[in-house]
Amino acid sequence: MDDRIPWVVKYRPRRVEEVVGQDEAKRVLREWLKQWAEGRVPERRAALLHGPPGVGKTSLVEALAREFDFDVLELNASDYRRKSDIERTVSVAARKKPLFKKGLLILMDEVDGIDPKADEGGIEALVEVVKVTGNPLVFTANDPWREQLRPLRELCLMVEFKGLSETAIVSLLQRICESERLQCDREALKLIAERSIGDARAAVNDLQAVAEGYGRVTLDIVRALIKGRDKSLDIWRTLNNIVYARQAWMAKKAVTQSEIDYETLITWLNDNIPKKYTEPEDLYRAYEALSRATLQLTRSKTTGEWSLLQYVFDLLGPGVTFARTSGTISKERYGFPEKIRLAMQLRTVREIREKLAEQLARNVLASKSIVKNEIIPYLTIIFRNTSNPVMAARIAIGYRFDKETVKFLAGPNADNIIKTIEKIRRAKPEEVKNEKIEERVEVKKQPKVKEEKTVKDAKSKSTGSLDKFLKRS
């Protein structure tokens, strides 16, 4: 077998006994499928398996199907969510007879991803299939309590899957270690298990990441790796645990147990909430929570009252989770925050504007805020005018703007202005030189102290929170 194969695939349970925990679910589901296998149609023709990600929903279905010699037709609800898709695929499959095996089981993943608006009629179509299906039909969902799933819930056998205990995950990891002939510390496995928050898939992925990098799994390595390694997996899991949490304590745990610092988490939430929450009401409520979280964070920092932080966690976790009342969770992937990419750029632009405001404030005798609101907008018009770059160029010479300032003011027109400045300089180099001296007399009188201070301020700012925050991420 290729060693590169993900362990989550390699060690996917093949027999029901290999599925970790979930005894109740195993019993109920086996009973249900047995009826189908014996040719009896159960009272409920479909089962809805629900629970957090990575606890064995799909695995158990596959293992049971193998046990009863059923074929499995796996569909992902995100691929077949509209009424017409469902009629084309699921309805057809529901009437099909298996070719070689005893029966055919239809497994449809992630039905909570069907959007009541965008995928109108999807749920209704499924309900119709459930009523008449001649083959066992199994749905899975992270969150089955959505309003739009209600008609489906009423018809389905509801099977709950619980988050896995740490002990269960540790013993799973131990088995893998033995099979891979890996040297594994029990403490290291415990740490991995603890961080997985009941998600076996995540734990196995982490184990593989450590093992492949170091050939052994010790507590030190796990600790170090967790700190130093690319955190995207961690972030992904934290976001997912927040978004899909079913109870407030779960969402809170997702935040407090995450290795991600809260400022990074806030940035990721800021960019990913609109990807996952599509309902305007949900989106607003989530942002209100996020906004209040950042407010509490600032308050806790400025007052030094760290006990206020717990409210930040409340708002980031449950606040975001339960902002969602009706809408579905979009299947769109989590993305790297645009804001982090833009942060550097943004800081530069702001510094240029600030510097310009400070310079002009002295010249036009007004506050920086007046300059920003009453002067810079007009300068921008002058500098962005494409047909007449001369005035802008002359002003740039008059105030000795540097290139960055010209770029800031002129935007896409910057090259035009810069070329014109150079043209003027070449044509009348002497005059440009004299002008500089002549026009700047007043500035020379200004004490230099203020400028030095600005530089200092800018420096102290740059070592401030933004830098830290960039480093952390």
Partner 1 sequence: MSVAELLWVEKYRPRTLDDIINQKEVVERLKVFVKERSMPHLLFAGPPGTGKTTAAHALAHDLYGENYRQYMLELNASDERGINVIREKVKEFARSRAPEGVPFKVILLDESDNMTGDAQQALRRLMELYTASTRFILVANYPSKIIDPIQSRCAFFRFTPLGKDDVVGRLRYIAEREGVDFDEEALDTIYEISEGDMRRAINVLQAASVMGRVTVETVYKVVGMARPREVREMLKLALSGDFMGARSLMRKLMLEYGLSGEDIVRQVHREIFSQEIKIPEELRVMIADYLGEVHFRLVEGSDDDIQLSALLAWLALMGRRLK
Q: Which stretches of the chain bind partner 1, using CB under 8 A?
A: 266, 270, 274, 280-281, 283-284, 286-288, 290-291, 294-295, 298-299, 302, 338-339, 342, 345-346, 349-350, 352-353, 360-370, 372-375, 377-382, 385, 387-388, 391-392, 394-395, 397-399, 408, 411, 424, 428, 431-432, 435-436, 439, 442, 445-446
Write the single-letter amino acid at 106: I
Q: Which two tokens stand for residue 119?
A: 């995928």
How many other C-beta atoms can be found within 10 angstroms of the C-beta atom of residue 143? 19
- Cβ distance to partner 1 smaller for residue 256 or 300: 300
Contact (Cβ atoms closer than 8 angstroms) between residue 388 and residue 399: no
Nearest to 17 by CA among 140, 142, 137, 171: 171
How many other C-beta atoms can be found within 10 angstroms of the C-beta atom of residue 206? 26
Query: Minimum Å distance from CB 427 to partner 1?
Result: 8
- Cβ distance to partner 1 smaller for residue 15 or 433: 433
Query: Minimum Å distance from CB 316 to partner 1?
Result: 11
Specify the residue for token string 């599509």. 278
Query: Minimum Å distance from CB 428 to partner 1?
Result: 5
Helices 414-427 and 429-439, axial angle in degrees (round to 10): 100
- In angstroms, the CA 413 to CA 401 distance is 15
Query: Minimum Å distance from CB 461 to partner 1?
Result: 13
Non-local (6+) Cβ contacts of 410 within 8 A are 383, 384, 392, 416, 417
- Cβ distance to partner 1 smaller for residue 186 or 472: 472
- Cβ distance to partner 1 smaller for residue 15 or 436: 436
Query: Minimum Å distance from CB 423 to partner 1?
Result: 11
Query: Minimum Å distance from CB 442 to partner 1?
Result: 7
- Cβ distance to partner 1 smaller for residue 16 or 366: 366
426 φψ region: left (φ > 0), alpha (ψ -120 to 50), beta (else): alpha
- Cβ distance to partner 1 smaller for residue 128 or 439: 439
- Cβ distance to partner 1 smaller for residue 183 or 291: 291
Q: Phi then psi for 398, rounded to 5 degrees?
A: -60, -40
Query: Minimum Å distance from CB 320 to partner 1?
Result: 12
- Cβ distance to partner 1 smaller for residue 130 or 273: 273
Query: Minimum Å distance from CB 115 to partner 1?
Result: 15
Write the DSSP string, 136-200. -EEEEES-TT-GGGHHHHHHEEEEE-PPPPHHHHHHHHHHHHHHTT-EE-HHHHHHHHHHHTT-H
